[in-house]
Amino acid sequence: MGNLSLGEFEEVVLLTVAVLYKDAYGVAIKSDIETRLNRNVSVGAMRTALNRLEKKGFVTSEFGEATKVRGGKRKRYFRVTPFGKKALDDVMESRKKLWSAIPSMAFKHNIS
């Protein structure tokens, strides 16, 4: 572990895991992203991102209890690790640096 790089979708998923905290499992993560960001999320893309985040050490996961409602299936819950928090902090700082470096005139356009 040493690489703090995050893709844009990985960042969204990681932030959503943090937002949901103890309720961060697949369906809830997908639903929250779709609702909060008005963005369609495929189950496959989300699972791929969660697997990558876990391999990078940014999240951990564990299975909850099996329930009758889920036909005996267990939910897999995700949590942000301290290393994941560091990656998010680095992304936020990088973006702040870029935003603060934009000259005010960069967004002033003469539209005729």
Give me the CATH number covering residue 36: 1.10.10.10
Nearby residues of 19 by Cβ (< 8 Å), 6 or more positions away: 32, 36
What pLDDT is stored for residue 69 in this prediction?
65
Domain-located, residue 20: yes
pLDDT-derived band at 100, boundaries 50, 70, 90: very high
Phi, psi angle pair for 42, to nearest 5°:
-85, 150
The range of the structural domain enclosing residue 21 comes to 8-98
pLDDT-derived band at 3, boundaries 50, 70, 90: confident
Domain-located, residue 89: yes
Tens digits of residue pLDDT in 47-86: 999 999 999 999 999 997 766 665 667 889 999 999 999 9
